[in-house]
Structure 1
Amino acid sequence: MFGSLIRRKPGMTLDQGDPAFDSTTFSLSTTVPRPLERRGDDRVLPTLCIVKLSSDRGDQLMRARNVSAGGMMCEVGREVSVGDKVEIEFNSQKIPSTVIWTRDTTAGFKFDADIDLGEMLAGRKPRHGFRARPPRLDVQCKANVRVGKTYYNCDVHDISLGGMKIEPIEEYCLGKQVVVVVESLRPIKGEVRWFNERKAGIVFDDPLTFEELAEWVGKRLELATLKAAYKR
Protein backbone atom coordinates (compact mmCIF):
# COMPACT_ATOMS: atom_id res chain seq x y z
CA MET A 1 0.00 0.00 0.00
CA PHE A 2 2.75 2.48 0.95
CA GLY A 3 4.83 1.54 -2.07
CA SER A 4 2.04 2.35 -4.50
CA LEU A 5 1.49 5.68 -2.76
CA ILE A 6 5.14 6.71 -2.72
CA ARG A 7 6.22 5.34 -6.11
CA ARG A 8 3.66 5.76 -8.86
CA LYS A 9 3.39 2.94 -11.38
CA PRO A 10 5.40 3.18 -14.61
CA GLY A 11 3.36 4.44 -17.50
CA MET A 12 1.18 6.74 -15.41
CA THR A 13 1.29 10.20 -16.97
CA LEU A 14 0.60 13.27 -14.90
CA ASP A 15 -0.29 16.67 -16.23
CA GLN A 16 2.26 18.77 -14.39
CA GLY A 17 0.60 21.88 -15.83
CA ASP A 18 -2.61 21.14 -13.97
CA PRO A 19 -2.41 22.93 -10.59
CA ALA A 20 -5.07 20.60 -9.17
CA PHE A 21 -2.56 17.74 -9.40
CA ASP A 22 -0.40 19.07 -6.60
CA SER A 23 -2.88 21.35 -4.87
CA THR A 24 -5.90 20.84 -2.66
CA THR A 25 -9.15 21.79 -4.37
CA PHE A 26 -12.04 23.19 -2.33
CA SER A 27 -15.67 23.12 -3.42
CA LEU A 28 -18.76 24.70 -1.88
CA SER A 29 -20.79 21.62 -2.80
CA THR A 30 -22.02 19.33 -0.01
CA THR A 31 -21.39 16.13 -2.00
CA VAL A 32 -18.35 13.95 -1.31
CA PRO A 33 -15.63 14.50 -3.97
CA ARG A 34 -14.81 11.65 -6.32
CA PRO A 35 -11.86 11.00 -8.68
CA LEU A 36 -11.51 13.27 -11.72
CA GLU A 37 -14.21 15.56 -10.38
CA ARG A 38 -13.99 19.25 -11.30
CA ARG A 39 -16.36 22.08 -10.40
CA GLY A 40 -16.73 25.66 -11.51
CA ASP A 41 -16.78 26.95 -7.93
CA ASP A 42 -13.51 25.27 -6.95
CA ARG A 43 -10.80 27.23 -5.20
CA VAL A 44 -7.25 25.90 -5.39
CA LEU A 45 -4.56 26.22 -2.73
CA PRO A 46 -0.89 26.23 -3.80
CA THR A 47 0.02 23.11 -1.82
CA LEU A 48 -1.69 19.96 -0.65
CA CYS A 49 -3.32 20.00 2.77
CA ILE A 50 -2.12 17.30 5.13
CA VAL A 51 -4.82 15.94 7.44
CA LYS A 52 -4.81 13.31 10.16
CA LEU A 53 -7.09 10.27 10.18
CA SER A 54 -7.85 8.43 13.43
CA SER A 55 -9.68 5.11 13.55
CA ASP A 56 -9.74 1.77 15.37
CA ARG A 57 -6.86 0.76 13.09
CA GLY A 58 -4.63 3.59 14.35
CA ASP A 59 -3.62 7.02 13.07
CA GLN A 60 -2.18 8.08 9.74
CA LEU A 61 -1.58 11.25 7.75
CA MET A 62 -3.37 11.77 4.44
CA ARG A 63 -3.05 14.23 1.56
CA ALA A 64 -6.34 15.99 0.89
CA ARG A 65 -6.93 16.21 -2.87
CA ASN A 66 -10.45 17.62 -2.88
CA VAL A 67 -12.51 19.04 -0.03
CA SER A 68 -16.18 20.01 -0.04
CA ALA A 69 -18.55 21.09 2.70
CA GLY A 70 -19.80 17.50 2.86
CA GLY A 71 -16.62 15.45 2.67
CA MET A 72 -13.17 15.00 1.16
CA MET A 73 -11.11 12.84 -1.16
CA CYS A 74 -7.66 11.92 0.17
CA GLU A 75 -4.57 9.90 -0.64
CA VAL A 76 -4.15 7.33 2.12
CA GLY A 77 -0.99 5.61 3.30
CA ARG A 78 -2.78 2.62 4.84
CA GLU A 79 -5.81 0.81 3.55
CA VAL A 80 -9.25 1.89 4.74
CA SER A 81 -12.55 0.12 4.13
CA VAL A 82 -15.97 1.36 3.08
CA GLY A 83 -18.10 1.83 6.18
CA ASP A 84 -15.18 2.60 8.53
CA LYS A 85 -16.06 5.20 11.15
CA VAL A 86 -13.15 7.64 11.44
CA GLU A 87 -12.19 11.07 12.71
CA ILE A 88 -10.39 13.55 10.46
CA GLU A 89 -8.29 16.33 11.97
CA PHE A 90 -8.34 19.29 9.60
CA ASN A 91 -7.16 22.81 10.56
CA SER A 92 -7.00 21.75 14.21
CA GLN A 93 -10.65 20.65 14.13
CA LYS A 94 -11.74 17.02 14.48
CA ILE A 95 -14.52 15.93 12.11
CA PRO A 96 -16.37 12.59 12.60
CA SER A 97 -16.64 10.93 9.17
CA THR A 98 -17.37 7.69 7.31
CA VAL A 99 -15.47 6.05 4.44
CA ILE A 100 -17.92 5.78 1.52
CA TRP A 101 -15.63 4.75 -1.36
CA THR A 102 -12.06 3.60 -2.03
CA ARG A 103 -9.99 3.34 -5.21
CA ASP A 104 -6.33 2.28 -5.21
CA THR A 105 -4.60 4.73 -2.83
CA THR A 106 -7.46 7.22 -2.59
CA ALA A 107 -10.63 7.22 -0.52
CA GLY A 108 -13.75 9.32 -0.09
CA PHE A 109 -14.87 10.44 3.36
CA LYS A 110 -18.36 11.77 4.15
CA PHE A 111 -18.56 14.13 7.11
CA ASP A 112 -21.22 13.19 9.66
CA ALA A 113 -22.42 16.80 9.40
CA ASP A 114 -21.70 19.40 6.71
CA ILE A 115 -19.00 21.89 7.71
CA ASP A 116 -18.83 25.65 7.22
CA LEU A 117 -16.07 25.55 4.62
CA GLY A 118 -15.65 29.33 4.56
CA GLU A 119 -15.04 29.38 8.30
CA MET A 120 -12.70 26.39 8.00
CA LEU A 121 -10.64 28.08 5.30
CA ALA A 122 -10.51 31.30 7.31
CA GLY A 123 -8.88 29.23 10.05
CA ARG A 124 -5.86 28.71 7.79
CA LYS A 125 -4.74 32.26 8.65
CA PRO A 126 -3.78 33.44 12.14
CA ARG A 127 -6.66 35.30 13.76
CA HIS A 128 -7.57 36.25 17.33
CA GLY A 129 -4.30 34.69 18.52
CA PHE A 130 -5.23 31.26 17.07
CA ARG A 131 -2.99 29.45 14.60
CA ALA A 132 -3.91 26.06 13.19
CA ARG A 133 -1.07 23.62 13.74
CA PRO A 134 -0.14 20.73 11.45
CA PRO A 135 -1.63 17.35 12.39
CA ARG A 136 0.56 15.19 14.61
CA LEU A 137 0.87 11.43 14.92
CA ASP A 138 1.02 9.95 18.42
CA VAL A 139 4.04 7.64 18.48
CA GLN A 140 6.16 5.85 21.05
CA CYS A 141 9.78 5.52 19.95
CA LYS A 142 13.29 6.64 20.85
CA ALA A 143 15.38 9.50 19.47
CA ASN A 144 18.95 10.65 19.99
CA VAL A 145 19.05 14.43 20.30
CA ARG A 146 22.37 16.28 20.01
CA VAL A 147 22.56 19.73 21.58
CA GLY A 148 26.06 21.10 20.96
CA LYS A 149 28.35 18.34 22.28
CA THR A 150 25.71 16.85 24.59
CA TYR A 151 23.54 13.88 23.59
CA TYR A 152 20.13 13.00 25.04
CA ASN A 153 18.34 9.68 24.66
CA CYS A 154 14.71 10.79 24.49
CA ASP A 155 11.22 9.37 24.16
CA VAL A 156 9.23 10.73 21.21
CA HIS A 157 5.58 11.42 22.05
CA ASP A 158 4.35 12.74 18.72
CA ILE A 159 5.65 13.75 15.31
CA SER A 160 4.41 15.82 12.39
CA LEU A 161 5.94 16.92 9.10
CA GLY A 162 7.30 20.00 10.85
CA GLY A 163 8.33 18.89 14.32
CA MET A 164 8.09 16.55 17.31
CA LYS A 165 7.60 16.47 21.08
CA ILE A 166 10.26 14.73 23.19
CA GLU A 167 11.33 14.09 26.78
CA PRO A 168 13.41 14.19 28.92
CA ILE A 169 15.59 17.17 28.13
CA GLU A 170 16.99 20.12 30.12
CA GLU A 171 15.64 23.67 30.19
CA TYR A 172 18.92 25.19 28.97
CA CYS A 173 18.17 23.57 25.58
CA LEU A 174 15.32 26.04 24.96
CA GLY A 175 16.16 28.05 21.84
CA LYS A 176 19.13 25.81 20.98
CA GLN A 177 19.81 24.24 17.61
CA VAL A 178 19.62 20.43 17.72
CA VAL A 179 20.07 17.38 15.52
CA VAL A 180 17.51 14.59 15.98
CA VAL A 181 18.18 11.00 14.93
CA VAL A 182 15.27 8.54 14.85
CA GLU A 183 15.70 5.03 13.49
CA SER A 184 14.81 4.80 9.77
CA LEU A 185 14.60 8.59 9.39
CA ARG A 186 17.30 10.94 8.11
CA PRO A 187 19.03 13.11 10.74
CA ILE A 188 16.89 16.19 11.19
CA LYS A 189 18.14 19.64 12.21
CA GLY A 190 15.81 21.81 14.24
CA GLU A 191 15.33 24.18 17.15
CA VAL A 192 13.84 23.65 20.62
CA ARG A 193 10.91 26.10 20.61
CA TRP A 194 9.24 25.33 23.94
CA PHE A 195 10.00 23.58 27.23
CA ASN A 196 7.78 22.40 30.07
CA GLU A 197 8.62 19.93 32.85
CA ARG A 198 11.45 18.26 30.90
CA LYS A 199 9.26 17.96 27.78
CA ALA A 200 10.20 19.97 24.72
CA GLY A 201 8.91 20.80 21.27
CA ILE A 202 11.33 20.74 18.35
CA VAL A 203 10.58 22.53 15.08
CA PHE A 204 12.43 21.11 12.06
CA ASP A 205 14.53 23.43 9.90
CA ASP A 206 13.74 21.28 6.86
CA PRO A 207 10.31 19.64 7.30
CA LEU A 208 9.81 15.99 6.49
CA THR A 209 7.99 15.21 3.27
CA PHE A 210 4.70 13.33 3.29
CA GLU A 211 6.46 10.39 1.59
CA GLU A 212 9.20 10.25 4.23
CA LEU A 213 6.77 10.18 7.13
CA ALA A 214 4.38 7.75 5.42
CA GLU A 215 7.23 5.33 4.66
CA TRP A 216 8.52 5.60 8.24
CA VAL A 217 5.08 4.88 9.70
CA GLY A 218 4.72 1.94 7.31
CA LYS A 219 8.02 0.41 8.47
CA ARG A 220 6.99 0.78 12.11
CA LEU A 221 3.67 -0.96 11.43
CA GLU A 222 5.37 -3.81 9.56
CA LEU A 223 7.83 -4.27 12.43
CA ALA A 224 5.03 -4.24 15.03
CA THR A 225 3.10 -6.83 13.01
CA LEU A 226 6.16 -9.10 12.78
CA LYS A 227 6.80 -8.81 16.53
CA ALA A 228 3.17 -9.65 17.31
CA ALA A 229 3.29 -12.69 15.02
CA TYR A 230 6.55 -13.88 16.60
CA LYS A 231 5.05 -13.77 20.12
CA ARG A 232 2.16 -16.07 19.16
Structure 2
Amino acid sequence: MMHAPIAIPALAPPPRDQRRDKRHASVLLIGRVAHAAAESACLVHDISEHGLMARFTAMPVVGERLRIAVRGLAEVAATVRWVNGYKAGVEFDVAQRIDTIFRLRDDRGLVARTPRFAMAATASLRIADRRIAVDILDISPGGVKLRSDAAVCSGQAGSVLLPEVNAAAFGTICWTREDRFGFRFCEPLSLALLSRVLGCG
Protein backbone atom coordinates (compact mmCIF):
# COMPACT_ATOMS: atom_id res chain seq x y z
CA MET A 1 0.00 0.00 0.00
CA MET A 2 1.42 3.33 -1.07
CA HIS A 3 1.43 6.17 1.39
CA ALA A 4 1.21 9.79 0.33
CA PRO A 5 4.49 11.59 0.85
CA ILE A 6 4.66 13.64 4.03
CA ALA A 7 5.17 17.31 3.38
CA ILE A 8 7.95 18.70 5.54
CA PRO A 9 7.46 22.40 6.21
CA ALA A 10 10.36 24.61 5.28
CA LEU A 11 12.30 25.98 8.22
CA ALA A 12 11.57 29.61 8.82
CA PRO A 13 14.65 31.85 8.75
CA PRO A 14 15.78 33.01 12.19
CA PRO A 15 14.29 36.35 13.20
CA ARG A 16 16.53 39.29 12.46
CA ASP A 17 18.05 41.13 15.34
CA GLN A 18 16.71 44.52 14.40
CA ARG A 19 18.82 46.21 17.06
CA ARG A 20 21.97 44.74 15.48
CA ASP A 21 20.78 45.86 12.04
CA LYS A 22 20.55 49.45 13.15
CA ARG A 23 23.55 49.68 15.48
CA HIS A 24 27.12 50.52 14.61
CA ALA A 25 29.41 48.37 16.76
CA SER A 26 32.57 49.99 15.40
CA VAL A 27 31.79 53.41 16.89
CA LEU A 28 34.35 54.64 19.41
CA LEU A 29 33.53 58.19 20.45
CA ILE A 30 34.21 60.11 23.64
CA GLY A 31 31.02 61.69 24.93
CA ARG A 32 30.11 64.22 27.59
CA VAL A 33 27.71 63.06 30.30
CA ALA A 34 25.80 65.40 32.60
CA HIS A 35 24.09 63.76 35.56
CA ALA A 36 22.76 65.45 38.69
CA ALA A 37 25.15 68.37 39.30
CA ALA A 38 28.24 66.63 37.90
CA GLU A 39 29.80 66.19 34.47
CA SER A 40 31.92 63.27 33.32
CA ALA A 41 33.13 61.45 30.21
CA CYS A 42 32.17 58.18 28.56
CA LEU A 43 33.40 56.07 25.64
CA VAL A 44 30.54 55.19 23.27
CA HIS A 45 30.91 51.71 21.74
CA ASP A 46 27.52 51.22 20.12
CA ILE A 47 24.85 53.71 19.04
CA SER A 48 21.49 53.71 17.31
CA GLU A 49 18.72 56.23 16.78
CA HIS A 50 17.13 55.06 20.05
CA GLY A 51 20.11 54.83 22.40
CA LEU A 52 23.70 53.83 22.98
CA MET A 53 26.00 51.57 24.94
CA ALA A 54 29.04 53.14 26.56
CA ARG A 55 31.73 52.70 29.19
CA PHE A 56 31.31 55.36 31.83
CA THR A 57 33.91 56.85 34.17
CA ALA A 58 31.29 57.37 36.87
CA MET A 59 29.27 54.20 37.54
CA PRO A 60 25.67 54.73 36.38
CA VAL A 61 22.51 53.39 38.02
CA VAL A 62 19.50 51.80 36.32
CA GLY A 63 16.78 54.42 35.96
CA GLU A 64 19.21 57.33 36.26
CA ARG A 65 18.48 60.34 34.08
CA LEU A 66 21.38 61.67 31.98
CA ARG A 67 22.15 64.18 29.27
CA ILE A 68 24.68 62.90 26.73
CA ALA A 69 26.48 64.65 23.87
CA VAL A 70 28.82 63.11 21.29
CA ARG A 71 30.40 64.45 18.11
CA GLY A 72 27.73 65.30 15.57
CA LEU A 73 24.88 64.73 18.04
CA ALA A 74 23.46 67.55 20.14
CA GLU A 75 23.01 66.96 23.86
CA VAL A 76 20.09 64.57 24.35
CA ALA A 77 18.19 63.48 27.45
CA ALA A 78 18.31 59.75 28.18
CA THR A 79 17.59 57.07 30.79
CA VAL A 80 19.92 54.28 31.93
CA ARG A 81 18.23 50.93 31.14
CA TRP A 82 20.90 48.39 32.13
CA VAL A 83 24.26 48.40 33.90
CA ASN A 84 27.17 45.95 33.89
CA GLY A 85 29.97 47.44 35.97
CA TYR A 86 30.97 50.68 34.27
CA LYS A 87 29.23 49.70 31.03
CA ALA A 88 25.61 50.68 30.56
CA GLY A 89 22.89 50.97 27.95
CA VAL A 90 20.87 54.16 27.78
CA GLU A 91 17.69 54.99 25.90
CA PHE A 92 17.18 58.40 24.32
CA ASP A 93 14.00 60.30 25.16
CA VAL A 94 13.62 61.17 21.48
CA ALA A 95 14.94 59.23 18.46
CA GLN A 96 18.08 60.83 16.98
CA ARG A 97 19.62 61.12 13.51
CA ILE A 98 22.85 59.21 13.96
CA ASP A 99 24.15 59.66 10.41
CA THR A 100 25.48 63.03 11.60
CA ILE A 101 28.09 61.41 13.85
CA PHE A 102 29.85 59.92 10.81
CA ARG A 103 30.17 63.26 9.01
CA LEU A 104 33.28 65.42 9.09
CA ARG A 105 31.10 68.54 8.81
CA ASP A 106 27.63 69.39 10.08
CA ASP A 107 24.68 70.75 8.09
CA ARG A 108 26.14 74.29 8.35
CA GLY A 109 29.46 73.16 6.90
CA LEU A 110 31.27 73.45 10.23
CA VAL A 111 33.75 70.79 11.32
CA ALA A 112 32.08 68.28 13.66
CA ARG A 113 33.91 68.36 16.99
CA THR A 114 34.01 66.23 20.12
CA PRO A 115 32.07 67.82 23.01
CA ARG A 116 34.08 70.14 25.21
CA PHE A 117 34.21 69.95 29.00
CA ALA A 118 34.10 73.18 31.00
CA MET A 119 37.00 73.54 33.43
CA ALA A 120 38.30 76.07 35.94
CA ALA A 121 41.93 75.14 36.55
CA THR A 122 45.40 76.64 36.31
CA ALA A 123 48.20 75.12 34.26
CA SER A 124 51.62 75.88 32.82
CA LEU A 125 52.20 76.42 29.10
CA ARG A 126 55.72 76.05 27.72
CA ILE A 127 56.62 77.79 24.46
CA ALA A 128 60.31 77.42 23.56
CA ASP A 129 62.12 78.61 26.72
CA ARG A 130 59.11 80.52 28.10
CA ARG A 131 56.85 79.23 30.84
CA ILE A 132 53.47 80.91 30.90
CA ALA A 133 50.81 80.64 33.61
CA VAL A 134 47.42 79.92 31.99
CA ASP A 135 43.84 79.24 33.00
CA ILE A 136 42.10 76.25 31.39
CA LEU A 137 38.57 77.26 30.37
CA ASP A 138 37.55 74.04 28.67
CA ILE A 139 39.07 70.83 27.35
CA SER A 140 38.31 68.07 24.85
CA PRO A 141 40.33 65.05 23.70
CA GLY A 142 41.73 67.24 20.91
CA GLY A 143 42.77 70.39 22.78
CA VAL A 144 42.17 73.08 25.38
CA LYS A 145 40.94 76.65 25.47
CA LEU A 146 43.34 78.76 27.53
CA ARG A 147 43.46 82.29 28.95
CA SER A 148 46.57 84.29 29.77
CA ASP A 149 47.81 87.87 29.84
CA ALA A 150 50.99 86.78 28.03
CA ALA A 151 51.23 87.37 24.29
CA VAL A 152 51.21 84.26 22.10
CA CYS A 153 50.84 83.68 18.36
CA SER A 154 49.04 81.11 16.24
CA GLY A 155 51.37 78.39 15.00
CA GLN A 156 53.64 78.37 18.03
CA ALA A 157 54.40 74.85 19.26
CA GLY A 158 54.81 73.85 22.88
CA SER A 159 53.28 71.83 25.69
CA VAL A 160 50.68 72.22 28.42
CA LEU A 161 51.25 70.64 31.82
CA LEU A 162 47.83 69.13 32.51
CA PRO A 163 46.41 69.45 36.04
CA GLU A 164 45.64 66.39 38.18
CA VAL A 165 47.96 64.14 36.12
CA ASN A 166 51.11 66.31 36.01
CA ALA A 167 51.68 65.18 32.41
CA ALA A 168 52.69 67.34 29.44
CA ALA A 169 50.48 67.37 26.34
CA PHE A 170 52.33 68.60 23.25
CA GLY A 171 50.66 70.63 20.54
CA THR A 172 50.27 73.95 18.74
CA ILE A 173 48.45 77.22 19.31
CA CYS A 174 45.73 77.16 16.66
CA TRP A 175 43.91 80.47 17.27
CA THR A 176 44.11 83.60 19.44
CA ARG A 177 41.47 86.13 20.48
CA GLU A 178 42.38 88.87 22.98
CA ASP A 179 43.52 87.03 26.14
CA ARG A 180 42.16 83.64 25.02
CA PHE A 181 43.61 81.08 22.66
CA GLY A 182 43.22 77.49 21.55
CA PHE A 183 45.90 74.81 21.93
CA ARG A 184 45.50 71.71 19.74
CA PHE A 185 47.12 68.49 20.97
CA CYS A 186 49.38 66.51 18.64
CA GLU A 187 47.63 63.33 19.81
CA PRO A 188 44.11 63.13 21.27
CA LEU A 189 43.83 62.40 24.97
CA SER A 190 42.63 58.92 25.88
CA LEU A 191 39.39 58.50 27.84
CA ALA A 192 41.40 57.42 30.90
CA LEU A 193 43.68 60.47 30.81
CA LEU A 194 40.86 62.92 30.04
CA SER A 195 38.83 61.50 32.93
CA ARG A 196 41.74 61.97 35.36
CA VAL A 197 42.20 65.55 34.22
CA LEU A 198 38.49 66.16 34.80
CA GLY A 199 38.71 64.51 38.21
CA CYS A 200 36.20 61.77 37.37
CA GLY A 201 38.56 58.92 36.47
Common topology (TM > 0.5)? yes
Q: CA deviation at 1:199?
A: 0.7
Deviation track 1:161-207 (CA, whole Å, cap 9, x = no partner) reads 11111111444432211211123242111111111120111000122
The sequence identity of aligned pairs, in percent, is 23
* Secondary structure of 2:192 counterpart: helix
Distance in 1 between residues matched to 2:41 and 2:101, nearest whole Å: 19
Write the distance in 2 (CA, Å) between the matches of 1:121 and 1:160.
16
Match of 2:98 among 112, 117, 121: 117
Is 1:55 equivalent to 2:58 in the alignment? no
Whether the aligned pair in 2 keeps the contact of 1:185 and 1:216 (CA below 8 Å) is no
CA distance in structure 2 between the partners assigned to 1:104 and 1:88 by the alignment: 19
Show the counterpart of 2:129.
149
1:162 aligns with 2:128: no
Residue aligned with 2:167, SS: coil
Q: Is 1:134–2:114 an aligned residue pair?
A: yes
Q: Alpha carbons of 1:143 and 1:112: their partners in 2 closer, same or farther (altered >3 Å)?
A: same
Instruction: Please list every run of 5 or more consecutive structure 2 residues that lacks an aligned counterpart in the other structure.
Output: 1-16
Corresponding residue number in structure 1 for 2:13: none
Query: 1:186-205 counterparts in 2 under 5 A?
Result: 186-205=167-186
1:1-232 map, 5 Å: 39-45=20-26, 48-92=28-72, 93-118=74-99, 120-122=100-102, 124-126=103-105, 128-183=108-163, 184-217=165-198, 220=199
Alpha-carbon shift at residue 133 of structure 1 (Å): 0.7
Moved more, 76-85 or 170-179: 170-179
Q: Which has the higher strand share?
A: 2
**Looking at CA atoms only, which structure, 1 or 2, has the larger radius of gyration?**
2
* Cα root mean square deviation, aligned: 2.3
Count of residues in Structure 1 that have an aligned counterpart in Structure 2: 182
8 Å contact from structure 1 (residues 147, 173) kept in 2:
no
Contact 2:139 2:145 in 1 (8 A): yes
Q: TM-score under structure 2 normalisation?
A: 0.80
Q: Does the aligned pair in 1 maintain the 2:162–2:197 contact within 8 Å? A: no
User: Contact 1:171 / 1:195 at 8 angstroms: preserved in 2?
Assistant: no
**Quick check: which one's helix share is greater?**
1
